[in-house]
Structure 1
């Protein structure tokens, strides 16, 4: 889906100079907020923003001031993974 946002040229140029790609910044803000509200998960954040790893995704969310949605199921999964590595 493509969305068009109308911003006066003078302001758009100033914002573009501040943040680099204004369209990328808008996408990041929307996706960070969607994650914060529980509408997308970390895998979807990574996919949409084309981030190279889970760690990069976590770093992005931290930069955006968003806490990770980490529940008991994810903790249990991580504990099982840890147990596998300890056995090896």
Structure 2
């Protein structure tokens, strides 16, 4: 989906215009993740991040709390048993 935004120049001047679309996408993804609208895996798919570690690094870089619950722990334990 494409969305057109009218942004004030006083805001846009603080951003690299070549990266503005990506910056807005990342900010929206962070907000959606923090409000639990999307999952860790969806963060990776939406942003094209290739691994769980890349997603963790991205979220940590942006000071987003990592949601890690018992289900995640169980999956990780099962993966370790298989490996």
Answer with 45-54 or 23-32: which moved more: 45-54
C-alpha distance in 2 between matches for 1:14 and 1:49: 22
Match of 2:38 in 1: 40
Q: CA RMSD in A?
A: 1.8
Gaps (5+ residues) in structure 1?
Answer: none
Using structure 1 for the length normalisation, give the TM-score.
Answer: 0.80
Match of 1:8 in 2: 8
Paired residue total: 83
Measure how far apart 1:52 and its partner are: 2.0
- Larger Cα-atom Rg: 1
Using structure 2 for the length normalisation, give the TM-score.
Answer: 0.85
Gaps (5+ residues) in structure 2?
Answer: none
